Each structure stands twice: as C-alpha cells, then as structure tokens.
Structure 1
C-alpha cells in the first residue's frame, strides 16, 4: 500500500525556562494526546515561513528567532509523516490556543508526565538536551578535573561525559561519586562503565559495547541477556545478571529528578552503528569524526555533507564530534544535529583557568 507523505512543521517553543505543549482535539487522529505545536507545510512553501505561519494561526504569536532541532520520519499504517522540528527561542505576542486547543507551559523535566504520540518521543528527548556535550579529558589528578568542571559550569555547559580511560573501575566509581556530590544537579551526567550506573545517571556505551548489546538483542528497558561465558569487561559479563534495565530506570527517589537521568547514549561512526543505537533504544548518540583531530590524526573526517546524510537516517538526537568547537554549532544545527560534543573544543585546561 502506498502511504500518503505529509510534511509537518513543529516547534519546541521556549520561554523563561519552560516549553509550550498543546493538546490534540479529541476527535483528531491520536486525539487527547499532547504535542509540540505546528501543522502541515504547504506545497512549495519555505520551511521557516511555513513554521511562522502555522504558529501564528495556532498560537497567535510572531516567531522572530528559530533554528532546526530534529527531523523525524515516522510511518503510520495509512500515511508517512516528516516531522520537521524547530527550536523557537524568541517570539512576539502571548501564546494561547487560538484554535481552542488547551496549551501548557511546562518545565523540561515535566514533559515525561504527559502522553505524546510515539513519533514525538525523540522530540521530547531533544527538547530536554543541551546543544553542547562536554567530554572530559584524562586528568592526572582530581583537582584538575574539578577545576575544569567548575569552569564548564560557569560557561553554561550542562551535560558531561566523565571519561577517564586510564582509571581503574573502582577508582572511577569513587571519583564519580565525589564529583556528583560536589556538583550535584548542575550537570546531566553520562558515565562510562561496563554496566548502567547504580546511581541512575546516564550511561554512555562505546561502539564495541553497542555492538555487543545489539548482537545480544538487548533494548533499553529490558533485562540484560544471560548467556555463555564472555571475556572480562564485556557488556554481557556475569555481574549484569541480577540487575535489569527497568531497575536502572526506576531507582527510588529518581521520579522527580532532572531530565538527564537514566539516559542511554552511544558512540557511533557509521550508518550501521547509528542503526544499532536506534534499535537498542539509545536516547542520543555521538557521531564522529566529522573533521580531522589532533588526537586521532589517522582518522579521516567524514565531512559535513556525510554527517548530514547519516543524521537523516535516524530519528534520534545526534551530537557531532571530532575537531569541533562552539564555533561550529550553527553548521551542526544546519546538518540536523542536536549540537556538538567534544573534549578539546569544549574543555579548558587548568593553565587556561
């Protein structure tokens, strides 16, 4: 059966730390569910102009600043929908349900309390994620790490991957505990480990971990697979047996915690790994390398066009990584990315503080 193809403009509208959502009419397709405001793009219409027109009709506002956030393709039994989602961070007027629809301004962390169509799930995630994802360098001592994180906090960075490749697991766990006690909810934390963090914070898996998880048929929210003996440090190591992903996602006291808790992220380098990440239920990924880097001079950068083509193949937020800094944010947005990730491009060494 041939599906009708519909291009829909939608908006994540931010003001004063809150996001606007609207409720679908009861009689409409998936009526009663909440959504991000927008509507169909007319044939031949410019995307930005179509977004502005729809939001003026639906909410009575005049958009003055917006940029692409995430592009989603979703198939229903009778139609195929492209959700072309933009972030609106400035507008004139008072947003209201101009067509009689209920609207709500909610905190990002409250989005999980509302029922959205399945196609909107990646938008809910993208709406809560920042535009920059800091990856910490290997530090010889914790004071350097603390100083760098304190500087990152002052510069407004809010999501951190604690990557300390030379550190033994026990010392890494002790370090992460101390850092999270010091910085608390100032950051969304992504940890590197063989298992999901016992704290309930985010888990960033390597490409090799991703491939093992995918090979085992695991998906976020399911128990980890039991199987034959495997090499040490494998994601299927025996110590995974008693714990399940639902326990990771529903640890006591985490229900009202910041939006970043329990995120699953994965490192990807090609279309196959992006597909695997989507199939295991990753909330977001990093894609690298975009440009040549000093840390991996042998790795050829994929370039912006290839990055754009790869991002278009998945419906999850993607951070571009490799030779990038905040100067590249606009290029990343135009390529369809959530933003940029980096070590040297986002981290200031102690001598610079």
Structure 2
C-alpha cells in the first residue's frame, strides 16, 4: 500500500487560536475535524503544496511557515504521512472555499474536537511551545522561586521542576509554590513517584527513562487531558513512549553537557533519524540553547529544552 503524502497546517490567528476544518461525510475519516491541507503532488515541494492547498481550500496566501511535525500513521485502509507546518502569518480571510465548516479553537479547546487518530500528535504539537525550561539543581528554594518568576515574566510556557538532590518533602513543598506561580501562565511538569499524581492535579508529569521502562507496559497512567512526558535517549525508549501514549518527550543528549559528561551525544544527524521514525513531539536537550530552535525545527523537533541556556541570569 502506497503511503499518501499530505501537507497540513497549524494556522495561528492573531489571538493564537488555531484554525481547524471539518471533513465532509463522504471523505476518509469523514465528519471528524482536521488541520487544513491536502496531498503533495509528485515532484512538488511540501511548502509549495501547502501554499497551493491552503489557497484552494481557504482562500488564503501563506506568508510565514515552518516545519512543525511529521506523522506516519497506518489506518486499516490507508497509510499516510502528514507533513505538518505551522503557519504564523497569512493574507486573506479564511473561509470554507469547498463548503467545509471552519472553527477557530484555543489550545485548550482543541481537546474538545474529535480528530482522526493520525492527528493526535499534531494536536499535542499545536498546544506545546517551542522551548522547555528545566530548573537547575542545587538552588535554594527562594532562589529557585525567583528564577521561575523571572522566567514566567519573560514568557516561559512550559517548565519542569527538576530538583534531584532535594528530599521528597522539600520537593513537594516547592512544587506547591511553583504550581501556584505557574497557574494561568505556564504548564508545570513535575518529576517523582506516580503515587504523588493525585496531590498535584494541575501539573503534568515528566517520567524518567527508568520510570518509562517500568510503567510503559501498563499504558498511560492518567487521562489524555493531563500532560505526560518522558526522557528518551534512543529508539527503544521512543518506542516505549509511543506505547505508553506520552504527549511529548525530551531527546538527549544532543551534544556533550556538564550535567551528564559520561553520556554519548547523539549529534544532529542521529537525532534527525530518530525523529523521522517517531510521531511524538520532541524537544532536543543537551548542549542546545534558544539559538538552536530553528535548526531543531528543520530536523523535525518541537523545539529545544535546557537548563543553563534557558534559566534567567542575574
């Protein structure tokens, strides 16, 4: 069965809402919502196909777009490769040129719409920012809280509270304070025993590679509305993350780091290959900073994650 190559778009409006369209009942996966786009013709560049399809379907002209995620999915009757781009600027007023209903949805509202199975990683990618801040180890609680406040003021949207050398009660107390700071501003990801899940209902959970190996056979430990992430270092762990149904991963170490000097770096080429074989939004971690975002996008990553390069200075 030949895989159908489709160019699709996460189109953002001025208010950061995302444009979605409803598939006609007569189409494959009819009646469900989708991200607009269409087939890439033989010999056609993906960006060109996207521009053509969005003009035909919505009457808009793409002015700024970049790769977001690639998704391979096998339905019983069809195999697809969804080549998804984020469109951040366009001209014209979007309308259903083919009679299809349209809707503008906030990132949270996307969860209220029913999408084809192949679109689930796209929904996650559309809701995630392009950087993931991980807090440094070894800071006093007051210093860490000051840094989180500064990061939130600078626009951080996804923060992991990483404090491996703290005692459990100290970490839990700190998590309560950081969760309060992040409320309504950013998504907090916590690390720790899954027995703590019920105590922090607003937080997402970031699994260690060890936890991933232990719990993946049991499936996802909580419903899809709550963020679940995992630390991955290669193809085996990425496969376990997919089996568990995690929403996103960190892939590390991309390059040598002070934090884990003993780890063998993946390098950009191997990371690109791993991303091509995975459908999960992934942040590259290890020796990267904000300036590496563009390169990360080009090889299929959601963005970049880090500690020192992202932590507010001073």
Which TM-score tier does this pair reach, normalised by the shorter chain?
A: over 0.9
What is the match of residue 311 of structure 1? 275
CA distance in 2, matches of 1:306, 1:288: 11
Aligned residues: 310
Shift of 1:293: 1.1
CA distance in 2, matches of 1:140, 1:155: 20
TM-superposition CA deviations, 1:27-64 (whole Å, max 9, x none): 11111100000000000001111110010000000001
Gaps of 5+ in 1: 222-244, 250-260
What is the match of residue 232 of structure 2? 268
What is the match of residue 4 of structure 2? 6
From 250, 265, 268, the equivalent of 1:301 is 265
Shift of 1:294: 2.1
TM-superposition CA deviations, 1:288-333 (whole Å, max 9, x none): 0111112222323211110000011111101100000010001100
Matched, 1:346 2:310: yes
TM-superposition CA deviations, 1:193-217 (whole Å, max 9, x none): 1115222221101011111113xx2
Is the Cα–Cα contact under 8 Å of residues 149 and 181 in structure 2 kept in the other structure? no
Shift of 1:180: 1.6
Q: TM-score, normalised by structure 1?
A: 0.85
CA-atom RMSD in angstroms = 1.3
Matched, 1:286 2:250: yes
Structure 1 stretches of 4+ with a deviation exceeding 3 A read: none
Is the Cα–Cα contact under 8 Å of residues 191 and 197 in structure 1 kept in the other structure? no
TM-superposition CA deviations, 1:230-273 (whole Å, max 9, x none): xxxxxxxxxxxxxxx35xx6xxxxxxxxxxx6211000001000
Matched, 1:75 2:77: no
Shift of 1:182: 3.1
CA distance in 2, matches of 1:182, 1:291: 32
What is the match of residue 122 of structure 2? 123
Describe how 1:186-205 pairs up with structure 2 within 5 A: 186-195=185-194, 197-198=197-198, 199-200=200-201, 201-205=203-207
CA distance in 1, matches of 2:180, 2:188: 12
Is the Cα–Cα contact under 8 Å of residues 139 and 145 in structure 1 kept in the other structure? no
CA distance in 1, matches of 2:133, 2:181: 17
